[in-house]
């Protein structure tokens, strides 16, 4: 840990410091003065701030590419005996890559929101919140210690709460925000315990002090409830609980679909590109810790795989366009965790970066359509869309690019990153690699299917939402379509930094991130022929998915209801999201409230404890009433008592003598 | 002259008669009379003891008791009169204003 | 200046007496004058207490600003005052809280105004005195002295069930204090002195020590309040007027925690260690139990009252872990809780003045009619659930981390409180501020200047302590270290 005194501050320090703090300042000013002074120009400060942050991030990125790795503390945040925690920054390839992506995507979404949120009464609030969110995300990514990570972690959760529940008058929106925060908190409960445990065994919370100490604990065991548990496993597992919450992996995935209550730019920014990726980021950042425990790697991979598969089965059944994309996000996050779980951290990060672009694009494109239909009772419903290809060309083409990217069609970014994951999984030194590859391969086909389902339903066929719009459907304003175009370029180009050697590329990203994330954990040298075979297989999967979607939604529309009618129970199971919401409601929510109401309040508090308290008062009361009987008012009785008293006294006196 | 024991027995009997009346009788005036009898008993006791031990302290006590009895009777009777004026009764079981 | 510095503690304690005297001789109908006098008096008192902070020497380990005067020599009791790193932060907390109470009650107390402000000023005297006292008689005196004005405040200006609540409050806390009194008297009989600095170093046979500890502990446990002796708190808090609740939650409760740290632990270390397991368990029960009750409460004030119990559970958890980090966290959390929960009660008072309803179902959509107020309430909600960046996080984090180093299982359960806390506070916020605008609260008068100031001050502190806690933590470093060293 390097303490920086004012004399030694360099330009670089200030740049790094400004990257998160420009959005923070913009956010605070907009929040306090936005309502009165900025009104509908409230977007100015945040957009300016984000733009400069983006430029600064590029500068930092260039410096890091040239080899600079830097960490410093801004000031000492908490200091108590052995615990020293500061607010500081760590600039290395991982964080540089992240901040560039975060500021870029955030900036584009800020611009987009000018169009999407125009006219909304809480305009200033929206921009203040997404700037604040960007601040927290940057703090999370740039942090150099676990406590600051937690600060950013909770901070993005907070902003997510505000933004999901942005239209707070709607009960469903407020509920969704609350659900998100609480499910996240459950994850954070584990996360906090992980931090404590890390401090207990490693004595520090700073990354650069933790990593050298890891070998010390690599063989340590700890007694938990009678079992001997591997310490690195326990720490990693607890920290991973937080990741499960934040990145919406099973079993804490239930908040993400509900989070679609928020405005679409929010979904794009938070629930596609940034916040939900924080979990992946954390696992990658702490990869030395996770790799100490094979059991943990297995769990990460399996949870990723399960989430990936589960959401891919739910997505094709949903009619809400945003929910489909939400489940798609869950699935792609599953990919990233699967990558981490087989040691392919670089591949996971690569996919994180490409996914940010095409997923944000998918959301914003969907937002474009939703914006058109915003007078409808449910503007997200794909059943009222259709035939928009000729009315909204830019939206169509950019969405098409995003869909091709996510389906893993060659040339597009998604192809390179997804393929990297699949290849690394197949050749991984971890025994479950091939199984992961298999899941990834199957889901790739499903991904292509449900994504193109949306494309075909919304842009081909007949438009069905005439009653909800004025005149003809039209393209969105430029302030919305230009970010779409930029994101589309990103969805293609972002993959080119990772062209694998097998296809003639230099795999820049692997070189770039290797110092931090290590080299691929593969068994031995890969044979190019197998690699080509795998590539061919994944292309086939993608094409198959697209073909199937074309078949069902364009060629033979009657097939659409085939599945839902023939296998009704299975269909219902998938449509109802595997009944998780119901499960949690009945096993967690209802019992807790029941216990609270019936037992805690009614029985222990009111009856037992209050019974004792009020009971003692009543006891005094009754005793008094009882003794009162002796006060008859009749003199003769009183004299008798006096006599008895005297006799007793005499007897006692004589006895004591 | 009767012996000391006989005087003491007399004194005790007088005291007990007075005590019994004090505790038992309903009429306030009879209670006062019983008090007088008790005091009387005490007088007899102290006088007898003093006579047989040739110590004049007993006689002095007797004087105190007589004086005190007179004063107490005076106050007691005035209180009874006042009580009667107020509550129109002299029976202790009907005077329960201090009940509870 | 020298005179002021040498007797600073006495000045801070007794300064409101000037205000009291002025008010006593003012005619009852000059209400505005009375309020201003009390405001100015407490303002000066607050400035004095901050001056106290500024002159604190961080390097010394013992007590500072010590005053020892002859008082009742017959029983060897002196007027003995002093502060150290543990107690010093409570002095400005007390004066500041009284200041906020005066601000918040400006327009809401309408009858017997003179008596009310007299009671407030008197409470301030007693509170500050308790934190500074080093002689057991003086301590006990101030400790009990607080009860009387509080009894009156709750009983006269309180809600519908005020008589029951205030008598319950008085008798319950008094009951505990009696055991402490027995302990104090025993100590005097044994050692012939009430001097705290001498009694700290005594050693006792284990049984005696345990009984003494229990005697003191009962008094403090009821004050904190710990589970299961917590039931006076919801009634007292709900029926008290706003200022009463703020003082109760803000300061009175802290007396219990302070008592543990100052008296029960250092004077009876073996017993404290022996009973620590029990205390930890009770703390964890308090955290979770009170949290669960909050989930199903409909009364706004009662909910916040139970949340107090939950937060104080964290504090006692930190205290009885005997870990320096946790101890620092516990002391800081007491300060934090005073600020945050005091502010929450003020918020409730603001809205209660307008609607005269404490029922959550009466409200809804308040963010639309009172947006600035909603923002403040959100800040305090976040501080209450321990969001990083707010003071609540620092306290909770330090406590949980520190306790974890000594006792892992307790922390696992205690940390569940973090989840439950978020659940009930956010649900409360949603039902009151979000969702459809309830016609009951459609037309709400805006915030007045005194309410605004009363809310801004805690907000500043929330973020100040949350982002730069070292300024506040540094006070405690040497004292806590000292305390725990002697405990080993």
Burial C230-261 (b: 16+ CB within 10 A, else e): bbbbbbbbbbbbbbbbbbbbbbbbbbbbbbbb
Residue A5 has pLDDT above 70, yes or no: no
What pLDDT is stored for residue A2 in this prediction? 44
- To the nearest whole angstrom, how far is the Cα of A614 from the nearest Cα of chain B? 24
Condensed to tens digits (0 to 9), the pLDDT of residues A554-584 reads 777 766 677 767 777 787 888 888 888 888 8
Give the per-residue pLDDT at A550: 85
**C-alpha closest to that of A36 among C372, B37, C84:** C372
Residue A504, Ramachandran bin (φ over 0: left; ψ between -120 and 50: alpha; else beta): left
Contacts of A609 in chain C (CB under 8 A): 228, 230-231
Examine the pLDDT at A4 and tell me if it is beyond 50: no
Q: Which of A511-520, A635-644, C156-165, C256-265 has the lowest mean pLDDT?
A: A511-520
Q: What is the pLDDT of residues A227-281, one digit of tens each?
A: 888 888 999 999 999 999 999 888 898 899 889 988 999 999 888 888 888 999 9
Give CA C65 to chain center in angstroms.
Answer: 22
Lowest mean pLDDT, pick from A1-5, A469-473, C420-424: A1-5
Q: What integer pLDDT is reported at residue A620 of this predicted model?
A: 92
Spell out the domain ranges in chain C. Answer: 1-487
Q: Which residue of A has its CA nearest to C401?
A: A196
User: Average pLDDT for residues A331-346, to the nearest whole number?
Assistant: 91
Mean pLDDT, residues C216-235: 91
Considering only alpha carbons, which residue of chain A is nearest residue B95?
A634
Q: How far is CA A596 from the centre of its chain?
A: 30
Q: Looking at the partner chain, which of C324, C411, C435 has a beta carbon nearest the beta carbon of A80?
A: C324
Interface contact C232-A165, CB threshold 8 A: no
Contact C296 A151 (CB under 8 A): no
Q: How much is the average pLDDT of A146-175?
A: 90
Tokens of residue A95, six digits:
């964080």
Residue-wise pLDDT for B48-71, tens only, equals 999 999 989 999 999 999 999 999
Q: For residue C257, what pLDDT is reported?
A: 93
pLDDT single digits (tens) A11-66: 777 888 889 999 999 999 888 887 777 777 778 888 999 999 999 999 888 888 88
Enumerate residues 373 to 432 of chain C having a beta carbon within 8 A of any beta carbon in chain A.
382, 387-389, 393-394, 397-398, 400-402, 404-405, 408, 411-412, 415-416, 418-419, 422-423, 426-427, 430
Chains C and A touch (3+ CB pairs under 8 A): yes
Query: Burial level of C57, CB count in 10 A (0-12/13-18/19+)?
Result: exposed
Quote the pLDDT of residue A10. Answer: 67
Going by pLDDT thresholds of 50, 70 and 90, the confidence category of residue C14 is very high
Confidence grade of residue A3 (pLDDT, cut at 50, 70, 90)? very low
Q: Looking at the domain assignment, is residue B65 inside a domain? A: yes
Residue in A628, A634, A643 closest to B93 by CB = A634
| DSSP-assigned beta bridge partners for residue C353 | none
pLDDT for C149 beyond 90: yes
User: Per-residue pLDDT tens for A422-436?
Assistant: 888 888 888 888 889
Q: What is the mean pLDDT of chain C?
A: 90
Q: For residue range A366-393, list pLDDT tens digits in order.
A: 998 888 888 778 888 888 888 888 888 8
Give the model's pLDDT for residue A86.
85
ipTM of the complex, rounded to two decimals:
0.89
Between A608 and C23, residue with greater pLDDT: C23
Provide the pLDDT for residue A9. Answer: 58
| Alpha carbon distance A451, A315 (integer Å) | 9
Tokens of A412: 């597009």
B24/A contact by beta carbon, under 8 A: yes
Rounded Cα gap, residues C345 and C121, in angstroms: 19
* C400–A196 CB contact, under 8 Å: yes
In contact, A199 and A83? CB cutoff 8 Å: yes
In a domain, B56, yes or no: yes
Share of chain A above pLDDT 70, in %: 96
Distance CA A138, CA A152 (A): 8
Cβ proximity of C437 and C354 under 8 Å: no
Q: Distance of CA C473 to CAs A31, A585, C86, Å?
A: 31, 42, 10
* 8 A C-beta contact, residue A509 and residue A346: yes
Which pLDDT value is given to residue A426?
87
Which candidate from C394, C416, C433 shows the least CB-CB separation from A78? Answer: C394
The pLDDT of C62-68, averaged and rounded, is 85
Q: Is A320 helix (H, G, I), strand (E, B) or coil?
A: strand
Q: What is the pLDDT of residue A460?
A: 83
- Tell me which chains share at least 3 CB pairs under 8 Å with chain C: A
Contact call for B23 and A643, based on CB within 8 A = yes
CB contact under 8 A, A633 and B19: no
Phi first, then psi: what are they for A464, rounded to 5°? -115, 5
CA A600 to chain centre: 34
B80: domain range? 27-90
The model's pTM is 0.88
At residue A407, the 3 state secondary structure works out as coil
Residue percentage of chain C with pLDDT more than 70: 100
Q: How far apart are CA C10 and CA C48, in angstroms?
A: 11
Integer Cα distance of A102 and A99 in angstroms: 5
Instruction: Give me the percent of chain C exceeding a pLDDT of 90.
Output: 55
Question: Mind listing the pLDDT tens digit for each residue in A439-496?
Answer: 999 999 999 999 998 888 888 888 877 777 777 777 888 888 888 888 888 888 888 8
Q: How many CB atoms lie within 10 A of CB A476?
A: 21
pLDDT value of position C1: 66
A643 contacts on B by Cβ (under 8 Å): 19, 23
Name the residue of chain A whose CA is nearest to B23's CA: A636
Q: Which of A498-507, B34-43, C115-124, C323-332 is predicted least confidently? A: A498-507
Q: Which of A424-428, C348-352, C482-486 has the highest mean pLDDT?
A: C348-352
**Phi, psi dihedrals of residue A244, rounded to the nearest 5°:** -65, -40
| Overall number of domains in chain B | 1
Cross-chain Cβ contact B100/A640 below 8 Å: no
Is A584 an interface residue toward C (CB < 8 Å)?
A: no
> What's the CA gap between C126 and C145, in Å, rounded?
6
Phi-psi region of A475 (alpha: psi -120 to 50; beta: other; left: phi over 0): beta
């Amino acid at each position: 840990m390097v303490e920086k005194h004012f004399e030694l501050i360099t330009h670089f320090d200030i740049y790094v410091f400004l990257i998160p703090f420009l959005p923070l300042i913009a956010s605070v000013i907009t929040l306090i003065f936005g309502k009165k002074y900025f009104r509908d120009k409230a977007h100015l400060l945040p957009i300016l701030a984000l733009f400069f942050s983006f430029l600064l991030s590029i500068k930092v990125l260039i410096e890091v590419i040239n080899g600079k790795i830097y960490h410093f503390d801004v000031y000492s945040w908490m200091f108590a005996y052995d615990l020293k925690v500061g607010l500081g920054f760590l600039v290395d390839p991982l964080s540089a890559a992240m901040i560039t992506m975060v500021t870029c995507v955030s900036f584009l979404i800020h611009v987009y929101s000018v169009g999407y949120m125009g006219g909304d009464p809480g305009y200033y609030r929206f921009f203040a919140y997404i700037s604040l969110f960007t601040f927290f995300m940057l703090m999370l990514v740039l942090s150099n210690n676990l406590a600051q990570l937690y600060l950013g972690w909770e901070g993005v959760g907070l902003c997510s709460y505000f933004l999901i529940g942005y239209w707070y008058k709607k009960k469903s929106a407020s509920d969704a925000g609350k659900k998100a925060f609480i499910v996240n908190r459950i994850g954070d409960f584990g996360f906090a315990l992980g931090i404590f445990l890390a401090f207990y065994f490693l004595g520090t919370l700073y990354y650069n002090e933790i990593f050298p100490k890891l070998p010390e604990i690599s063989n340590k065991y700890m007694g938990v409830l009678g079992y001997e548990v591997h310490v690195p496993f326990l720490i990693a597992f607890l920290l991973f609980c937080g990741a499960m919450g934040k990145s919406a992996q099973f079993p804490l995935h239930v908040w993400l679909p509900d989070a679609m209550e928020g405005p679409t730019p929010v979904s794009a920014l938070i629930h596609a590109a940034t916040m939900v990726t924080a979990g992946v980021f954390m696992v990658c950042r702490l990869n030395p810790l996770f790799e100490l425990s094979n059991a943990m790697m297995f769990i990460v991979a399996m949870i990723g795989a399960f989430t990936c598969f589960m959401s891919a089965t739910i997505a094709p059944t949903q009619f809400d366009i945003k929910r489909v994309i939400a489940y798609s996000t869950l699935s792609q996050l599953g990919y990233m965790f699967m990558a981490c779980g087989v040691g392919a951290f670089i591949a996971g990060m690569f996919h994180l970066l490409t996914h940010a672009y095409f997923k944000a694009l998918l959301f914003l494109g969907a937002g474009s359509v939703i914006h058109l239909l915003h007078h409808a009772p449910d503007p997200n419903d794909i059943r009222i869309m259709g035939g928009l290809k000729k009315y909204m060309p830019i939206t169509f083409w950019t969405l098409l690019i995003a869909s091709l990217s996510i389906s893993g069609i060659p040339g597009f970014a998604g192809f390179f990153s997804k393929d990297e994951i699949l290849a690394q999984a197949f050749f991984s030194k971890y025994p479950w690699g091939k199984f992961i590859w298999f899941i990834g391969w199957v889901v790739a086909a499903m991904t292509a299917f449900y994504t193109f389902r949306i494309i075909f339903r919304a842009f081909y066929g007949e438009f069905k939402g005439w009653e909800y719009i004025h005149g003809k459907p039209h393209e969105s304003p430029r302030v919305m379509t230009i970010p779409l175009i930029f994101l589309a370029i990103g969805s293609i180009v972002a993959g080119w930094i990772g062209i694998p050697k097998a296809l003639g590329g230099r795999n820049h990203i692997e070189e770039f991130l290797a110092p931090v994330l290590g080299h691929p954990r593969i068994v031995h040298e890969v044979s190019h022929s197998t690699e080509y075979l795998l590539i061919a297989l994944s292309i086939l999967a993608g094409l198959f998915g697209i073909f199937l979607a074309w078949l069902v939604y364009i060629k033979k529309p009657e097939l659409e209801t085939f599945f839902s009618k023939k296998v009704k129970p299975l269909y219902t199971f998938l449509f109802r999201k595997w009944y998780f919401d119901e499960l949690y409601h009945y096993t967690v929510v209802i019992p807790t409230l029941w216990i609270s109401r019936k037992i805690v309040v009614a029985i222990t508090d009111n009856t037992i404890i209050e019974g004792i308290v009020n009971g003692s008062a009543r006891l005094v009361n009754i005793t008094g009433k009882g003794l009162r009987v002796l006060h008859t008012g009749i003199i003769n009785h009183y004299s008798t008592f006096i006599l008895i008293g005297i006799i007793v006294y005499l007897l006692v006196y004589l006895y004591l003598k | 002259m009767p012996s000391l024991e006989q005087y003491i027995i007399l004194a005790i009997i007088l005291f007990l008669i007075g005590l019994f009346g004090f505790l038992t009788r309903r009429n306030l005036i009879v209670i006062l009379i019983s008090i007088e009898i008790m005091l009387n008993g005490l007088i007899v006791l102290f006088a007898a003891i003093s006579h047989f031990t040739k110590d004049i302290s007993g006689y002095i006590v007797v004087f105190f008791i007589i004086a005190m009895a007179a004063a107490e009777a005076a106050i007691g009777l005035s209180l009874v009169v006042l009580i009667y004026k107020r509550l129109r009764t002299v029976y202790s079981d009907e005077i329960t204003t201090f009940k509870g | 200046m020298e005179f002021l510095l040498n007797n600073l503690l006495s000045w801070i304690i007794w300064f409101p007496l000037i205000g009291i005297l002025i008010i006593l001789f003012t005619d009852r109908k000059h209400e505005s004058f009375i309020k201003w006098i009390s405001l100015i008096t407490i303002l000066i008192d607050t400035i004095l207490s901050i001056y106290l902070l500024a002159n604190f020497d961080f390097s010394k380990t013992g007590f500072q600003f010590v005053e020892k005067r002859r008082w009742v020599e017959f029983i060897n009791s002196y007027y003995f005052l002093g502060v150290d790193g543990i107690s010093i932060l409570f002095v400005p907390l007390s004066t500041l809280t009284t200041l906020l109470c005066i601000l918040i009650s400006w327009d809401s107390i309408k009858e017997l105004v003179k008596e009310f402000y007299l009671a407030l000023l008197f409470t301030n005297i007693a509170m500050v005195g308790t934190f500074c006292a080093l002689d057991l008689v003086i301590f006990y005196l101030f400790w009990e002295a607080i009860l009387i004005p509080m009894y009156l405040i709750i009983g006269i200006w309180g809600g519908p069930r005020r008589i029951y609540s205030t008598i319950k409050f008085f008798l319950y806390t008094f009951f505990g204090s009696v055991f402490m009194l027995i302990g104090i008297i025993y100590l005097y009989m044994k050692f012939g002195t009430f001097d705290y600095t001498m009694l700290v170093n005594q050693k006792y046979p284990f049984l005696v020590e345990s009984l003494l500890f229990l005697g003191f502990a009962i008094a403090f446990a009821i004050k904190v309040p710990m589970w299961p002796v917590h039931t006076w708190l919801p009634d007292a808090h709900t029926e008290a007027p706003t200022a009463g609740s703020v003082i109760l939650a803000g300061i009175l409760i802290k007396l219990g925690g302070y008592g543990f740290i100052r008296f029960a632990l250092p004077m009876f270390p073996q017993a404290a260690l022996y009973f620590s397991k029990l205390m930890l368990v009770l703390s964890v029960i308090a955290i979770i139990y009170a949290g669960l009750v909050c989930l199903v409460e409909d009364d706004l004030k009662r909910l916040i009252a139970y949340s107090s119990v939950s937060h104080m559970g964290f504090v006692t958890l930190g205290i009885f872990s005997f870990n320096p980090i946790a101890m620092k966290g516990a002391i800081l959390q007491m300060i934090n809780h005073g600020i945050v929960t005091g502010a929450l009660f003020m918020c409730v008072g603001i809205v209660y003045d307008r609607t005269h309803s404490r029922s959550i179902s009466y409200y809804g959509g308040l963010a639309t009619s009172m947006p600035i107020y909603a923002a403040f309430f959100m800040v305090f909600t976040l501080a209450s659930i321990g969001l990083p960046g707010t003071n609540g996080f620092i306290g909770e984090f330090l406590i949980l981390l520190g306790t974890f180093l000594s006792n892992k299982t307790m922390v696992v359960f205690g940390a569940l409180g973090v989840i439950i806390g978020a659940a009930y506070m956010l649900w409360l916020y949603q039902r009151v501020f979000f969702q459809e605008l309830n016609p009951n609260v459609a037309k709400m008068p805006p915030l007045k200047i005194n309410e605004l100031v009363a809310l801004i001050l805690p907000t500043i502190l929330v973020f100040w302590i949350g982002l730069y806690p070292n300024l506040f933590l540094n006070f405690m470093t040497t004292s806590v270290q000292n305390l725990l060293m002697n405990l080993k």
